[in-house]
Amino acid sequence: MIYLDYNATAPVRPEVVAAMQECLALPLNASSVHTFGREAKKRLEYARKTIAETMSAWPNELIFCGSGTEANNWALRAVTGRRVLVSAMEHSSVLAAAPEHKILIPSTAEGLVDLAALEALLQTDGVALVSVMLANNETGVIQPMAEVAALCRKYEALLHCDAVQGVGKIPVDFGGLGADMMTISGHKSGGPVGAAALVVRRGYALPAFLLGGGQESRRRAGTENIAAISGFAKAMELIDLNDMKRLRSWLAVMEQAMEAMGGVVFGTSAPRLPNTTCVAMPGTSGEVQLMDFDLKGFAVSTGSACSSGRIEGSHVLAAMNVPKNLAESAIRISGGWKTTEEDIILFTQAWRNTRKRLIK
């Protein structure tokens, strides 16, 4: 099976498995004061420092949690009583966590947040928070975060950025991003599921999300998952963005072949993640394609993987004003650390054969 669904989750790297197994062999609770507890604390803080350095953040700005969804919920639910502006293309965990009185920031046809619309919305009173993702999980389009941050500063609104899809694919710089909060996770880059973090700018008093013990400086109670967190840190240490450059060159050739046969690639006029292609095969539903490719030995996706296995219409493509019938024929191909040029060549051939067979 050739796996091309890294934006859902990546295969765990062998080095990450080894680091986790080392931790799992020990009874590690960082709140204990005995030898094992001190060892757990040492590993926890080493991981915090390692991950923070890869994001140009301070270690004490990093709060570990269980998933990107948890971090997004924490950031969005911390703001009450005032309006929240949320990009219409956000991950479902942001859209669902935002208050009922949230306002959606429209998208351009290229899949970029509409900056003029954002400024118009910020000019009204009572905006507390803006949430815009660094890179879209379906199209791979990278958002203009410097401009978004500048507008938030101008109108004194907090900025949250879901950077989960950017980690391991493009440089992620919390210090340069201009955000007050940033969500990151390791399992899209070869780390384990179950370890993520909310990066919080020093000086912003974020309310505690889970109450109980004093873990994570009393901001997120619960025994830290030392094994998963250590695996997260190891995955960050192994990131090599040169791998992404090679992957982008392979996908570019694939996209050219698809477009030559009538495929429609989304977001091509905007900056995109180097590992992601969202392409429509007009005349054939994404669901049919997904099943066909699965039978041929390729794991791809029709979009977000956060719908309990259901195949639903893409709110991202809808926000880009893509016609419904075209959006329904879209699939997502996303590669990563284990993807080879041969994988992409073989999938391109499979896509071509599927189109010839299904489109009469």
Q: Which residues are part of the catalytic machinery?
A: 306
CA proximity to 93, closest of 115, 118, 74, 110: 74
Q: Tokens 């450059």 label which residue?
A: 245
Strand-pair category, 196-200 with 62-65: antiparallel
Largest CA distance in the chain: 70
For every residue of 18-76, DSSP letters joined together read HHHHHHHTS---TT--SHHHHHHHHHHHHHHHHHHHHTT--GGGEEEES-HHHHHHHHH
d(CA 318, CA 160): 23
Structure tokens at 114: 């509409």
Alpha helices in the chain (DSSP H): 14-24, 35-54, 68-77, 92-97, 115-122, 145-154, 174-177, 215-218, 226-237, 241-260, 286-295, 315-319, 324-327, 341-358
Burial profile 88-97: b = 16 or more Cβ within 10 angstroms, e = fewer? bbbbebbbeb
